[in-house]
Amino acid sequence: MATWQCVNTCGACCNLTPKDRPDLADYLTPEQLDIYMGMVGPDGWCINYDAEQRLCKIYEQRPTFCRVQADTFEQMFGIEQAELNDFAIDCCQEQISGVYGSKSEELERFTTAVGIEI
């Protein structure tokens, strides 16, 4: 069975381009939306993302909406804990493909890490 995990130095989720996520207000509270929009840099990437090292500079203090955990996904998307693994895998595959491409090294590393084939 495939098991979701974050793949170090991927960073696809740090591409916050609002036009790619038109339904932000549907799953973020107004306060979270303000924080989110304040994190979007001019290029659409999170201002806390170190593009050179491909790491989050505030990982331990990142907002809850940046965390893949059951309570966050239940609050934002109505996803039950039993559905979280598959939902998170699908979200990552979609985001990685959108940011880096469906034939990217990043997508290959992710699918290998979680134990699925494309």
SS3 4: coil
Q: What is the pLDDT of residue 1?
A: 83
Rg (the chain; Cα; Å): 14
Contact, 106 vs 96, CB < 8 A? yes
Distances (CA, A) of 7 to 23, 27, 113: 25, 24, 7
Distance CA 94, CA 96 (A): 6
d(CA 45, CA 55): 12
Q: What residues does 49 pair with on adjacent strands?
A: 56
Compute the distance between CA of residue 46 and CA of residue 17 in angstroms, rounded to an integer.
9
pLDDT for the residue numbered 73: 94
User: In whole numbers, what is the pLDDT of the chain averaged over residues?
Assistant: 95
Distance (Å, rounded) from C-alpha 6 to C-alpha 10? 8
Q: Using one digit for the tens of pLDDT, what is the confidence trace for 4-47?
A: 999 999 999 999 999 999 999 999 999 999 999 999 999 999 99
pLDDT confidence of 92, banded at 50, 70, 90? Answer: very high
pLDDT for the residue 39: 98
